[in-house]
Amino acid sequence: MSDKIIQKEDLPDFLKSLKKTYEVFAPIKENGFHRFKALKGEENIDLNFTNTRLSPKSLALPQSERIFEFNLDEKSEDGNIVKEAPKDYPPTVIFGIRPCDAKALRVMNVNFDNPEFRDPWWVKRLESLTLIGLGCNEPSSTCFCTSVGSGPFNEEGLDVLLFDLGENFLARTLTDKGEKLLDEAGVNKDADSNIKKRANALKEESEKKINSKVPTDKLKEKKVNDLFDAPFWDDVAFSCINCGTCTFLCPTCWCFDIQDEITKKQGDRIRNWDSCMFPLFTLHASGHNPRSEKVQRVRQRFMHKLKYYGDKYNNGVACVGCGRCVKYCPVNIDIREVFKLMNDI
Amino acid sequence: MIEYVDTIREIAKKILEEKTVDVIIGFKKGTLPLMTEPILINDAEKTNQLYWDSFCNMNLANYLPKRKEKIGIIAKGCDSRNIAVHIVENQIKREQLYIIGVPCKGMVDRRKIISFLDGKEIQETIESDEDITIKGEGFEHKLKKDDYLQDNCRTCMHRNPVIYNILVGDLVEERKDPDPYDDVKEVEEMGSEEKWGFFSNLVKDCIRCYACRNACPLCYCPTCFVDESDPQWVGKSIDHTDTMTFHILRAYHCAGRCTDCGACQQACPMDINVRNFTRKLNKDVLDLYSCEAGLSIEERPPLDTYRPDDYDKFIR
């Protein structure tokens, strides 16, 4: 670990030099909100954001990804043989990822890369990523990261963490990957102790700004069935319209569906994001649907995030406190209220 | 608008106590500034949770289909029209409903305020008849509500409920002047390629979350065509053709039924102007059949009506 200095005026050159080796994704404001986009030419990156509307999880788990291909022509040599779709995993930098979104990839990783299963596409993509985080000087009122094991300058999952100190960034390398990246980009000016002090003060100050807290301490000891049968689910679910906003904007929701799309004899097997809010998510081939009612689906989402995940992986909750679902749920279902209900029942 | 809160609570309490209804569907104050949440209340003691302000933008008619009990429902102009559509389409019975009508001066578009603030956070809001005051760290703005109305409310011609059992206040004056279809006319004048480009561009950020569809009271099909799996009709990826298929087919399914309540647009997490799909169809239905959806519980929707004396020869 080392602390370097990047002058803000040198940022364009820094990004330019990264682009020689990496594909670089960075926050860009377009049509009214921030999103991570690949830097192709002279785009203006904009670091004046709290959170991007969509998390950058699609860079590790694309919303739609062709995973296999096949040919249904039996006469053909490779007829009816399913083959892995060829693709590249170019070295990629996500510049300006927020610490909560970086932590989210670690939350997801235990699902995709564990002793039982290794998802090859996830693993290769994650390996190809280098994450340059940007600490949050001004967290939003809907940020509650400090309650769920993260924080505005949390280092988990990042390769480099940037502290915005006004005229310059302190760049803290956290992994060999991060060290190598800064080295390649010629960032070699060490931060002096005064600057380090300012960075640490900034971190403390920012953590204090997070007023939104959720309780999680009793979730682990609760019995699954007690929470499952809790009396509050009908009230929580009433307003839900069962859209996929919460799950698609969530940086930790990983559920997917696999579909075959066929044109004439040529087929593609595609993995698409799916959502536990959709009835089709659990519809059986028999026609039976174990979660046919809205209340069952709403309960599933919160139980998975706040209870099943922790019970299964012993890795906290599957929520990093980014506040996207809180802000963009069209009917204002607030996960922070559900934390309270589930923890304090 | 905010002055209606006490009246709404009183009426709701009374009709629950008198057992006129079993439940009330209304709004409660949201956990965030400029937000409200639909709520179901079945206990007269809890009616003080009911709330009303200029951010009650979801359409409560959406919560009616399949309900069996007697329901008191709070309805602004557009909600009442969608209730009428539900009654005509046999999704709910008029006798089941006690409609608490809210004369509406338009809903304020929270996104317009958020965009005006450009990242600054609201800590407190105070609403009065004409204005909304927003306060945050180092700022205080008094905004005229009329300047921040939802686009559909700007041109709304039916601000008063069309059917109701009781009103929470005096009827408001209806607009007489606006032509709600100025921008539709601009699209109509485009060439076919330009039109295709316009609509393609409209959905380029769509993430297929279906918030637009699910916020829409018209979308009550037991299985939506995009969710048909045996056989599957539409691809599930974010392939442009599939996304366009979803939006265009959904819009056509709303033709002659849409009240332009704006819930689809308010629900969209990607700020897509979903109304651009439905509004041309609303305009056509008005031009061709002199009809606007949900103004009567007696008349069938124009697209499922047949009259032997129709003035168009091709159908006779």
d(CA A272, nearest CA chain B) in Å: 6
Given a cut of 50, the residues of chain A with pLDDT beneath it are: none
Model confidence pLDDT, tens digit, residues B65-82? 999 999 999 999 999 999
Once rounded to an integer, what is the mean pLDDT over residues B252-265?
96
- pLDDT value for B179: 78
- pLDDT value for B1: 65
Q: How far apart are CA A180 and CA A21, in angstroms?
A: 12
Chain B residues within an 8 Å CB radius of A270: 236-237
Strand partners, A7: A168
Q: How confident is the model at residue B307 (pLDDT cuts 50, 70, 90)?
A: confident
Q: How confident is the model at residue B176 (pLDDT cuts 50, 70, 90)?
A: confident
Q: Do A239 and B208 touch (CB under 8 A)?
A: no
The beta strands (E) that lie in chain B are given as 23-29, 36-41, 50-51, 71-75, 97-101, 124-127, 131-136, 139-144, 166-167
d(CA A184, nearest CA chain B) in Å: 35
Residue B231 preceded by cis peptide, ω within 30: yes
Decide if A263 touches B, using CB distance below 8 A: no
Decide if B169 touches A, using CB distance below 8 A: no
Model confidence pLDDT, tens digit, residues B261-300? 999 999 999 999 999 999 999 999 999 888 999 999 998 8
Q: Which tokens go with A264?
A: 């004439």
Give the chain A residue nearest B227 (alpha carbons): A280
> Which long-range CB contacts under 8 A does A12-21 form with residues at least 24 apart?
A14/A185, A14/A187, A15/A39, A15/A45, A15/A95, A17/A184, A17/A185, A17/A186, A18/A93, A18/A95, A18/A181, A18/A185, A21/A91, A21/A184
- Residue B255: other Cβ atoms inside 10 A: 18
Closest CA to B75 of B261, B256, B297, B301: B261
Q: Do B210 and A244 touch (CB under 8 A)?
A: yes
Q: How far apart are CA A276 and CA A295, in angstroms?
A: 11
User: 């595609």: which residue's tokens?
Assistant: A270
pTM for the complete prediction? 0.95
Decide if A51 touches B, using CB distance below 8 A: no
Q: Which tokens go with A209?
A: 């700004």
Best of A36, A55, A136, A239 to mutate (most B CBs within 10 Å, chain B): A239
Q: Do A330 and B271 touch (CB under 8 A)?
A: no
Q: Which tokens go with A344?
A: 């304090």
Model confidence pLDDT, tens digit, residues A67-83? 999 999 999 999 999 99
Chain A residues within an 8 Å CB radius of B210: 243-244, 278
Q: How confident is the model at residue B309 (pLDDT cuts 50, 70, 90)?
A: confident
User: 């009911």: which residue's tokens?
Assistant: B50
Q: Do A327 and B215 touch (CB under 8 A)?
A: no
- pLDDT value for B138: 93
Closest CA to B71 of B35, B22, B29: B22
ipTM value of the model? Answer: 0.95
Distances (CA, A) of A297 to A163, A281, A290, B176: 40, 10, 10, 45
Phi, psi values for residue B131, rounded to 5°: -125, 165
Q: How confident is the model at residue B93 (pLDDT cuts 50, 70, 90)?
A: very high
Best of B114, B137, B207 to mutate (most A CBs within 10 Å, chain A): B207
- pLDDT value for B308: 86
